[in-house]
Amino acid sequence: MDQKWFEDQEARIPQGEIRTRFAPSPTGYMHVGNLRTALYTWLIARHAGGKFILRIEDTDQGRLVEGAVEVIYATLRKCGITWDEGPDIGGPVGPYIQTERRDFYGKYAQLLVEKGAAYRCFCDKARLESLHAQGGLGGYDGHCRDLTAAEIDEKLAQGVPYVIRQKIPREGSTTFEDAVFGTITVENNTLDDQVLIKSDGLPTYNFANVIDDHLMGITHVVRGSEYLSSAPKYNLLYEAFGWPIPTYIHCSPVMRDANNKMSKRHGDPSYEDLIAMGFLSEAVVNYVTLLGWSPRGKDAEREFFSLKELADIFDVGGISKSPAIFDLDKLKYFNANYLRALSPEDFCKAALPYLDQAVTTPGIDKTLIAPLVQPRCETLLDIAPQVDFFDQLPPYSNDLYCHKKMKTDKANSLEALEKVLPVLEALDPWSYDAIHDALVGLAQAQALKNGRIMWPVRTAVSGKAVTPGGAVELCQILGKQETLRRIQLGIAQLRQAE
């Protein structure tokens, strides 16, 4: 083999810095576990002042979804996760898409064959299915491990299809270190000779990962704990090549409940779903980072962090071995805090699409509605049910006029509205201060507490027991003509019930 080619690849590898990678498959939307992996990987790199690499793993061609790569880019950007190298921006160790690196894997597999750490397997599908049907561990039985050179040459000359398998030592054990789970030792006779290169020439996930991680200089590998069982095979590959082994960081799964992992198939939300459900990206990022990781020291009791603050304090030692349970109510708690912390301008910008859907009446100033709902929302989807009355007064019961604290009932509410109507009819200009002063002045003139006037007005103009804002704000937003119309309807409805 051309040793110079291998030496050139080694020479490209960046040295002397922390390098991490996020390597998603373009198979659909980003689920919560994937997002958490991306966050931890990014935070490790940023905390150390290192590099974060984006790599697209598209070797499983049967599961690819059109447009999924663009979804990955968009999701990461929305979350504030920037990459230093990747398919769209390049870098010193590209290409960054696995199918564009196809020639790499075959050469390294052949190198392993020459080293005696891999072999060609010519077993056909029928034989493999027969092995599987026999039960047991279901692993490959090593039928082709010890074929002679002559037997191999004969099959190659006949054009018999083959895969390349890793040649796991039959004796001894393999020990690896994980930053979360510690030292783990596995007996080699429990490991099967996994396929490295498929018959179509494409690598398997496990082999491509090892090759790419080494050639890209990856120093820290973050992945789910379901890959712990594959880690010994990775170690054996690194050792066979004589390569340094990166730091493994295996994270326990994100669970729907104590017994079930989150799964899109079971209706659990992806990142895109959460955004569509009215959650802010910043809140999702904050909450997901804390699913299985806890800050330590002076920040141990804190809950709310910006992405930059997380990068400043993130350490691998805070990652838990225990599975984390995704709690939508807890996420709502985070989101409510983020919504309330937004500046009025930023909240209005976020709320406007939801206000536009809920309030379609021309002339309604939605910038006046936004501050009223900001303290009352857990998610942005909470906006519409609170403000639908601006478009159309709903049917309501006269019982809403009865309020013990305000000391109102149907009779005195009717009296209040009858006194309010001429006062508001005469009002000019129609402004918050003018409406406020007129209603408060009326209450004072009648020797009544403000609530005796304000509650009937709020009920008449909204038809709801709970509203964002009080009577003055609602009258201002509805405008003079609509306010008077609704008060007249309220008077008529109360008189009819007498």
Residues designated as active site:
264
Question: Considering only CA atoms, which of 31, 25, 324 is closest in space to residue 180?
Answer: 324
**Could you tell me how many residues make up the chain?**
498
Q: Which two tokens stand for residue 255?
A: 């669970």
Write out the DSSP string of 403-460: BTTTTB-HHHHHHHHHHHHHHHHT--S--HHHHHHHHHHHHHHTT--HHHHHHHHHHH
DSSP 364: -
Say which residue the tokens 């940023």 belong to: 46
Query: Cα torsion at 327, 329, 332, 336 (round to 10°)?
Result: -130
Q: Phi and psi for 128 in degrees, rounded to 5? A: -65, -40
Q: Which two tokens stand for residue 16?
A: 């002397």
Strand partners, 248: 178, 221
Alpha-helical (H) ranges within 18-96 are 32-47, 68-78
| Residue type at 266 in one-letter notation | H
Say which residue the tokens 């018999």 belong to: 160
Task: Calculate ∠ Cα 21-23-26, nearest 5°.
Answer: 155
Residues whose CB falls within 8 Å of the CB of residue 250, separated by 6 or more in sequence, listed in order? 178, 180, 181, 223, 224, 225, 227, 228, 231
Residues whose CB falls within 8 Å of the CB of residue 412, separated by 6 or more in sequence, listed in order? 452, 456
DSSP 216: T
Across the beta sheet with 220-224, what order do the strands follow? 51-54, 19-22, 220-224, 247-251, 173-178, 182-187
